[in-house]
C-alpha cells in the first residue's frame, strides 16, 4: 500500500521522530524503525495530523509513547 502525504505531514513526522529520539536518548533511525513496525506513523501520526500538529511537542511525544508502547530510556 502506498501512502501519499503532504509536505507538511512529512515534515511533522520527521520532526516528531527527532523529538522522540531526543527525549528517549535514541537515534532517529531506531525510533523510525520502532514507529514503522508498530504502525504509529501510518495509523496515528498521519491520519490525525490535523489535530496533532496543533499540540505541543511534549504532548505528542507522550501520546506516541503510549500508542507505541516504546519505553523511555533511563537517564
Each residue's pLDDT tens digit, 14-27? 999 999 999 999 99
Q: Give the DSSP letter of residue 51.
A: H
Model pLDDT for residues 36-50, shown as the tens digit of each residue: 999 999 999 999 999
Predicted structure pTM score: 0.85
Q: How far apart are CA 40 and CA 19, in angstroms?
A: 15
Q: How far apart are CA 26 and CA 11, in angstroms?
A: 19
What local confidence, expressed as pLDDT, does residue 73 receive? 47
Q: Give the DSSP letter of residue 42.
A: I
Q: How far apart are CA 21 and CA 17, in angstroms?
A: 6
What local confidence, expressed as pLDDT, does residue 70 receive? 54
pLDDT level of residue 74 (50, 70, 90 thresholds): very low
Q: How far apart are CA 9 and CA 51, in angstroms?
A: 11
Amino acid at each position: 500500500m502506498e501512502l501519499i502525504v503532504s509536505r507538511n505531514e512529512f515534515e511533522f513526522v520527521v520532526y516528531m521522530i527527532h523529538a522522540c529520539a531526543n527525549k528517549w536518548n535514541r537515534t532517529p533511525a531506531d525510533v523510525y524503525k520502532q514507529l514503522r513496525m508498530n504502525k504509529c506513523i501510518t495509523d496515528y501520526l498521519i491520519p490525525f495530523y490535523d489535530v496533532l500538529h496543533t499540540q505541543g511537542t511534549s504532548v505528542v511525544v507522550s501520546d506516541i509513547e503510549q500508542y507505541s508502547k516504546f519505553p523511555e530510556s533511563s537517564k
